[in-house]
Structure 1
Amino acid sequence: MCGIVGFTNDGFAVAHKEAVLNRMLTRIQYRGPDESGLYITPNCSMGNVRLSIVDLSSGQQPLCNEDGFLWIAYNGEVYNHHELRVKLEKKGHKFRTTCDTEVVLHMYEEYGSKCLNELNGQFAFSIWNEKKKTLFLARDRFGIRPLYYYRSERNIVFASEIKCLFEHPEVTRAINLERLKESLIFWAPKSPNTVFDTVKELPPGHFVEVKNGCFNVQQYWKHHYRFDKFKGTIDDAADELYSLLKSSVDLRLRADVQVAAYLSGGLDSSVTTALVNEIQPNVLNTFSIGFVDQAYDESVYQNEVAKHFDTNHTSVSCNNDDISKYLAKAIYHAEAPLLRTSPVPMMLLSSLVRKNGIKVVLTGEGADEMLGGYNIFKETIIRHFWARQPESKIRPVLLRKLYPYIPQLKNASPMMLRLFFGYQLNNTNSPVYSHLLRWKNGHQLTNMLSTEVLHQVKDYDPVDELSSNFSNEFGAYSPLEKAQLLESKLFMSGYLLSSQGDRMAMANSVEGRYPFLDHRVAEFCATLPDSYKLNGLNEKVILKLMMKEQLPSSVLRRSKQAYRAPVAQAIMQNKNLMEQYMNEAAIKESGLFNAQKVSVLQQKLSGKQPVSEQDNMALIAVLSTQILYSKYIADFEGACKLDMVKGDLKNKQVIIR
């Protein structure tokens, strides 16, 4: 895994270009601590920091083809590069390394943008064609690896992380208020937006070609559901899914370094562990995060699975002090507001992995989105069922089972359940029906915004805009499929794989790999009937059937447990954190939130009143945004000096044309 940066047509002197590239790369040295490289021409300059995983001895970037006119800066892994290399060699291509980077470059040379359809992996890369003076940028299908850009009339600046862009003299820093509103409602801005005014992301499954001042963005892959459903039995489907997942895991074990796995104690990571154990018995290192607070801890299940497969298991326990101590660092790496503290333990977990000399881990993300694992999917089905008889007193009671970790709902009366879950109950024709209730709760967070901000964004309704955009695309899908697509497009890509995934792992120079997000697996799951995924309140039916002989029955029987971490009880105890970012002066300086409402919230959380999920979300939303403002707007230089990797770029090569 690596980090990339670059820019075009800047008119700078060579020395200035090199200095800018160095500053950009230094900001993300943790993404590639092994070596670095710069490529500088009058029209395009690129840089790379490398975490060497395949072909450790060669493959330094930027890397060129044998003719020297195509240059690539690459972040990611293409797992089927062996097979693609053989195909290219038959066509006469010559290779100097055994790394997948060179394969991607030659694939582009041979097939142009159509090469992306052949790549099985997770990637973000730039290719400069010195002959044609064209720049090509591409990102993997699900957006596992990040790629951001700034665009002006004469220039494009791109990078793996936003902080790099801010080192370019043309890129200004400001919070976009409409995107902040989106973040509070959706947990992340809608792609290609970011919370920063001048910065966009290249959306998942897209590429862009830059030539003669034209900026052409195109989609090459789209996650969608098939109308020609799988025709076999669920047992047939389970056999097919097993074959695909085993192949996916096998591909993702390819590396010239040791590959480990995260083990949460849930079904998805247990499936991954089981498949690794079948392919490479008795060699797997597994890592887990536990919690001192038993309300969040899954250590019993983690240890049971580790013992079942006899893995070399290592775990770390997270307490409230850890949450508050590392929250600011996590937000610096996430580069976005957060609505929960869960990324912090994931950063601690990747630190544990790195301390044990491991660079690569397999993880179970994507299974819930592909196979109907989240409670919001069950909630959607129940609300549709309830909407057929809106006056029913029994149907809303089914919802009580979904959120046992929320006391206000676990013990709620039927009347309270009706009031909470009945929001827009009969609006079942809405393409975003499944998420209307969640987004209503998110919309309540916008009440914390300052009067000035609320006035500026009062005419912007992100939910209406999103509903309008998806009305045609979602029309023929089932309620479950609509909910799955929304979760994949917004939550998974915008938050789960970014703020909680890539950023927290790469903060410690660890690469995450996701077998459930192999596009072959995703495309197969898109053909499955709803009942193979969700049957009543039983989630991921086919996955449980597939693994019934391989996993402990306790793992198969237990309901989906949401991954969560402490919020108010962890944050409020840290007086320095609260004083630095949540005092009245800091709130007024940013101008983003209402100081009086923030004060009232803090008083409530400091007292003995019951704390709701909404209170927790409001606290972390305000605090994380305040930290983001401090580190990226108010004092970017100071934050970078404190948080970036110290020292010069490692093993640097510089190529000037």
Structure 2
Amino acid sequence: MCGITGITSFSPAGKVRLSKVKVSADTLFHRGPDGGNYFMDEVTALGHRRLSIIDTSSNGNQPMKDPTDRYVLIFNGEIFNYKQLKQQYFADKHDWQSQSDTEVLLHLYIKFKEQCLSLLGGFFALAIYDIQERELFLARDRYGKKPVYYHYSPEDFFAFASELKALQDYGIPQQLDKASLQQYLQLNYIPEPYSIFKEVKKLRPGHYMTIKAGKAEEHRYYELDWNHPNPSISYDAACARLEQLMDASVQGRMISDVPLGAFLSGGIDSSVVVALASRHTQQLNTFSIGYKDHPFFDETKYAQLVAQKYNTTHTVFSLTNNDFLEHIDAVMNSIDEPFADSSAIPVYILSKHTRGAVTVALSGDGGDEVFAGYNKHAAELRMRQRSFLNTLVKAGGPLWKVLPQSRSNKLTNLFRQLSRFAEGAKLDVKERYWRWAGFMTEEGAREMMKDEDDAKFKVEVQRRKEELLWRLDKGSNTLRQAPATAGRQGDSIEMEDFLATDMGLVLLSDMLVKVDRMSMANSLEVRSPFLDHTVVDFAFSLPTSYKIDRGMKKKIVQDTFRPYLPAELYNRPKHGFEIPLLDWFRKELKSKITDDLLNDRFVEEQGLFNVEEVRKLKQRLFSSNPGDAHATVWALMVFQHWWKRNTG
């Protein structure tokens, strides 16, 4: 795991920027504190910061050249099957300079060019420069676990970096993208491939780019095949196969020349990873975070049960309100563009404490998106089945709206969920997905912004929405009318569309961003066995009924690993990494909202947001029925903090 950056110039003005590569790489120091180096010729410069994981000697340093000095590689990530690939394709080669996956990757590219990408098992963002042809090759892993930002000026230069702030070091244009800002307000994150700046994009997952002589071309090398379930495999056989694939994925991700451990939240996914990892090591270090002042959010007792079952060396970081609050500025400073998933705060703290003991941590990320583990998945399935209860909940919409709603306790959270279900029942599946993906409606997000009613702007926002939701197009007008007895081919395949959309939106732009930024801010590498491509491809080959039914989310995962997990983990509410933002906003952080970041005068002078709508939002936050106001307030606070840092 590392940080990469680079620039290739197309003009004299572009060449002037080449020397900025050193500054850009230094900006990424936290991603690679173990070393850094640079390459530069007349037209291209590459920079690298190293977090040493495999072959920690200087032989694995980057940028790495091949023996002919024609190719130069910088690489962020891990290739877990590099030893197998080395043996398969280079059995007769004996002059290796290192024991690293980096060197194997470089020779695979020389041998196969872009076709090598389909051979790689792992996660990566990489750049390879052909000095002879003066061609830059840039690629990203299948699901976008490792980030790549880029700016392309056809007449001037092309620059890229692992984080936006490192890209800014090249002096790129920084005009705010208002369409991105509106979708950020709605979702609390910016959907890829867009960024907060108009002239900065993100390389799409499963894609590569070639850049030469002012021309940049993007190509796909991997696409999720989600629409062809294989009903021939029995459920028992599928469970057995899942265990095999997950075991192999976990074992492969335990390759490391530095200390390795695992996050253990007490949920099913992280517990599965710990159970499997315990097969392949005599002693596993596990780490959990607890909420000392808020028992409703604390799940450490379940993590303790798993730790005891597998005799791990378990550490619980039980934190008070003050522990969380003192890290908020550090979290916001670690965000390179506005990102407001508030669970980033506990992930940051967990990563910080974990890094004190290990350099690599396994996690359960991706399990919910791949195997249908969210409440919204159960709600969508229930929505498709006609029932008296559905009708009753839908009819009760006006009532749910006036009842107190918040995430702070079971009852008010139930009212919040009932209200969202009733609201979604009025929409087709495409609009319902979009509404449930966010905290605000499109109209609410647009009203929050100042002077953004022009038709051109609305068209662009709608175009991006359609681009994100294209997998839902074919079923958007039929699902509400589907009878309760609809067969799998008429119903479940369209549920797969729902899950595949999550892979390209929620997983890519929210979950993976959160884990990457917060872990790498603390120089910790996080590996996610559920996102091995063999596991993901297998999951999307299964009938939907194997993953979710009326009684169980993530069904095949729960059933497959039931013999290995404590019974107490089953049939309990799912919390995730939630934090008590509402309480903090009403107490410790109130002055930061009212007197600083969302102060009326500051908002008015800034000229981006409708001060009256911001004022209404604050009133709702401090009312007896805040709903999800805390999430939007947090989004605005994160943006304002970012804005101040970027505008001086």
TM-score, structure 2 normalization? 0.89
1:324 CA displacement: 3.6
1:447 CA displacement: 5.2
Amino acid at match of 1:511: E
CA contact (8 A) 2:148 2:160 kept: yes
Could you list the runs of 5+ residues in structure 1 that have no partner in the other structure?
A: 636-657
Amino acid at match of 1:231: S
Q: Deviations over 1:601-631 (max 9, x none)?
A: 334544xx32433211221121111111112
CA contact (8 A) 2:180 2:196 kept: yes
CA contact (8 A) 1:64 1:71 kept: yes
CA contact (8 A) 1:431 1:482 kept: no
1:512 aligns to 2:526 (yes or no): yes
Could you list the runs of 5+ residues in structure 2 that have no partner in the other structure?
A: 401-405, 476-491
Q: Deviations over 1:263-317 (max 9, x none)?
A: 0000000000000111223x10001111121121111111121112111111213
**Number of the residue aligned with 2:414:** 410
1:597–1:457 Cα change, 3 Å: farther
1:612 aligns to 2:611 (yes or no): no
**Number of the residue aligned with 2:403:** none
**Number of the residue aligned with 1:245:** 246
Q: 1:530 aligns with which of 517, 525, 544?
A: 544
Identity %: 28
CA contact (8 A) 2:439 2:628 kept: no
Amino acid at match of 2:37: G
Question: Counterparts of 1:250 and 1:235 in 2: how far apart (Å)?
Answer: 23
**Number of the residue aligned with 1:596:** 612
**Number of the residue aligned with 1:649:** none
1:427 CA displacement: 4.7
CA contact (8 A) 2:18 2:44 kept: no
* Larger RCO, structure (CA 8 Å, separation 6 or more): 1
**Number of the residue aligned with 1:188:** 189
Amino acid at match of 2:20: V
CA contact (8 A) 1:350 1:505 kept: yes
1:117 CA displacement: 0.1
Three-state SS of the structure 1 residue aligned to 2:192 is coil
1:473 CA displacement: 7.1
1:483 aligns to 2:498 (yes or no): yes
Question: Counterparts of 1:440 and 1:508 in 2: how far apart (Å)?
Answer: 29
Amino acid at match of 1:77: E
CA contact (8 A) 1:590 1:629 kept: no
**Number of the residue aligned with 1:45:** 45
Equivalences for residues 150-299 of structure 1 within 5 A: 150-153=151-154, 154-169=156-171, 171-281=172-282, 283-291=283-291, 292-299=293-300
**Number of the residue aligned with 1:306:** 307
CA contact (8 A) 2:226 2:497 kept: no
Question: Counterparts of 1:296 and 1:265 in 2: how far apart (Å)?
Answer: 12
**Number of the residue aligned with 1:640:** none
CA contact (8 A) 2:263 2:270 kept: yes
Three-state SS of the structure 2 residue aligned to 1:596 is helix
1:544 CA displacement: 1.4
1:381–1:14 Cα change, 3 Å: closer
CA contact (8 A) 2:15 2:43 kept: no
**Number of the residue aligned with 2:578:** 564
Moved more, 200-209 or 94-103: 94-103
1:25 CA displacement: 1.3
**Number of the residue aligned with 1:121:** 122
1:459 CA displacement: 2.0
1:395–1:234 Cα change, 3 Å: farther
CA contact (8 A) 2:36 2:47 kept: yes
Question: Counterparts of 2:193 and 2:14 in 1: how far apart (Å)?
Answer: 32
CA contact (8 A) 1:320 1:571 kept: no
Question: Counterparts of 1:411 and 1:425 in 2: how far apart (Å)?
Answer: 15
**Number of the residue aligned with 1:494:** 509
CA contact (8 A) 1:124 1:147 kept: yes
Amino acid at match of 2:181: L
Amino acid at match of 2:597: Y
**Number of the residue aligned with 1:77:** 78
CA contact (8 A) 1:14 1:40 kept: no
Three-state SS of the structure 2 residue aligned to 1:4 is strand
1:11–1:214 Cα change, 3 Å: closer
Q: Deviations over 1:202-249 (max 9, x none)?
A: 011110011222111011111231424142221111100000000000
CA contact (8 A) 2:450 2:607 kept: no
Three-state SS of the structure 1 residue aligned to 2:458 is coil
1:486 CA displacement: 1.6
Q: Deviations over 1:124-148 (max 9, x none)?
A: 0100001111100000011001111
1:389–1:478 Cα change, 3 Å: farther
